[in-house]
Structure formats: structure tokens, C-alpha cells
Amino acid sequence: MALRDVFISLSENKILNSAAQKYGLRMGAQSVVAGTNLQEVVKTIKELNQSNISCTVDNLGEFVFEKSEATAAKNNILEVIQAIHDEQLDAHISLKPSQLGLDIDYDFCYENLKEIVALAHQYDIFVNFDMENYARLQSSFDLMNALHNEFDNVGTVIQAYFFESEENIEKYKNFRLRIVKGAYKESESVAYQSKSDIDRNYLKLIEYHLLHGKFTSIATHDHNVINHVKQFVQQHNIPNDKFEFQMLYGFRKEIQLALAKEGYNFCTYLPFGNDWYGYFMRRLAERPQNLTLVTKQVFNKKTNLAIGLGTTAFLLGRLSKRGK
């Protein structure tokens, strides 16, 4: 778990996050984000749609503590929703409540979210509430529940490393849910710490929601999990329209295309914007095997001194300390 902890620490480093925003494109960040503006995202969605791949779009943002920043994020998301409708794209929205003001003021965040969900509802576009760390867990559920009283186009994420996830997946079985392992550093008082425990609970949650839930998004790059799900849905006669596989943009493209060709619903998670660094480090924390993608796709440019070398030094330093 040491490497996972290092990536989580990297995701929370504001200096490296700021540097990534400045130098990201010159580092090859376009291999892990779907663009930095709306036009680029629309182009990427259209290309994936041509391969029968749906998309969920995430307007990236970290460390939002000013109302002006949250309002700007809201307006960006509204523009994406409008573009999805105008261009008739097969896509929906993923968002983080903290980016819309959860860490500033609950009511302010709620109003921002309501504006987003209302427009999406008008166009029959789904909005997924991405879950963050444990400190924000209950307030995020509360926001979704409040909006669900008025709108039926909201769903959320269940993180397998939390002890209470089994209770939550039963509580929210009538929602569309994305099942993930979890990508934040959490206390042993609230979350499983070992990979084997997390993996075991992950499959347990997937199976429960496939059998009892409304719609299941299975977010994984692991072919073993994918094969397990394929066998499980066959054994239990679960129709394809009850679930989808999800992967991140830029990861295992050949498998994404293959699953779509096999007739499974497939959705690519499309992050966009300059604020990509924290997001990507958390994805590596979820699955450290993807470190090779960092080396090949992000830190292989001559202009990587600002982040590539800085990140490598930080990473090696942390690993060295843990090895003593």
C-alpha cells in the first residue's frame, strides 16, 4: 500500500498541481485528458460515439475555496450540458460537489448543483455525483438525496473501501450507481486498508447492485474483474441494458473498443481542463500498475522538468523514507 499512499500524497500537493496546469500540455497531458476546452471535448466525444462508446464528462477542478471559482465551474458544466444536447452526443455529466462549493457553503453548493441538474433534466441527461473523501461523504449523499426529491436524473458512486458501502449500496439501490474501489487515503476506522479486502468488497458490491439495483457502472481496468462480471451476468441472466463497463480516457483503449464491439455498454470517463494533476494521481493510487502509463504518456517529453522531475524526486523521496 506504500506506493498507493505516495500517489495520494502527490494528488494533494498544491505546488505540483499548479505546475501541472502550467506545463501540462507540453508534457503530453492530452494523453490522459480529453481536452482543455469545450470544442476539444466535443470532438473527442464524437470520435468515441462513432465506436459505440458513451462518455461521462468531468470538468476537472481542485482546491476550490472561492465562490467565484465554484461559479465558474458551474458555468463550464452548464456549457457542456448544452453542447451535449445541441450536438446530440451520447454523454452525461460527472461532477464533484467540492468543485461546486461544498467546502465553502452547503446551501451555495446546493443551488449550483440544482441549476446543473435542472438543465440536465430538461434535456434528459444524467448527472453523476462523484464521491470524494470520507469527510465529504455524508454531505454529498445529502445533496443528492435533496435533489432526487425533485429530479430523477441523479446518481452517485459507491467506494468499495468504506465499511459502510454495503449499507449504502442497499440504501441507494434504486439509483444509478458507479462502483469503484476508492482513491483517497482513509483511516482504518472507516475503510479497509488491504488490497485483498478492498477487492473482495468491490466484487461483492458489484454483484449486489447487478442483482438488485437500477443500473450499474462497473469502473475498472482489470480484465479479471471484467471477465468475472461477464460470467456473473450470464449465470444470472442479467441483460446488457442493466449495466456498463467504464474506463478512463487514455487507458487500455484496445479493451474499451473490444468490449463495445462485443455488444456491452461501454462508457469512457472523460476528464477535461488544465486541472488534471490531482485527478490523475488518484487514478494511479487506485491502480498503481498504471504507473507505466505515466512514464510512457506523461513524463516522456523533453519539457518535463517542471513536473516530471519534480514528481519523480518527490516519489523517490517518499519511497526511500518508507523503505528505511
Specify the pLDDT at position 302: 40
The candidate with the shortest Cα–Cα distance to 117, out of 73, 89, 81, is: 81
pLDDT higher at 302 or 318:
318
pLDDT in tens, 37-86: 899 999 999 999 999 999 999 998 877 999 999 999 999 999 999 999 99
Residue whose C-alpha cell reads 523503505 in the numeric block: 323
From 58, 103, 176, 178, active-site residue? 178
From 4, 58, 103, 130, active-site residue? 130
The b/e string for 194-225 (b: 16+ C-beta within 10 A; e otherwise) is eeeebbebbbebbbbbbeebebbbbbbbeeeb
Is 130 considered catalytic here? yes
Is 178 considered catalytic here? yes
Task: Tell me which H or E stretch contains 128.
Answer: strand 127-129
In this prediction, residue 13 has a pLDDT band, given cuts at 50, 70 and 90, of low
Q: Cα separation of 87 and 82, whole Å?
A: 8
Handedness of CA 164, 169, 172, 176 (dihedral sign): positive
Tell me, which fold does domain 33-275 have in CATH?
TIM Barrel (3.20.20)
Q: Give me the residues paired with residue 246 across strands.
A: 219, 267
Q: Cα separation of 300 and 304, whole Å?
A: 7
pLDDT in tens, 192-206: 999 999 999 999 999
The four Cα atoms 274, 112, 136, 104 give a dihedral, to 10 degrees, of 80
Tell me 162's DSSP state.
B
CATH 3.20.20.220 location in the chain: 33-275
Specify the pLDDT at position 285: 67
Q: What is the CA radius of gyration of the chain?
A: 19
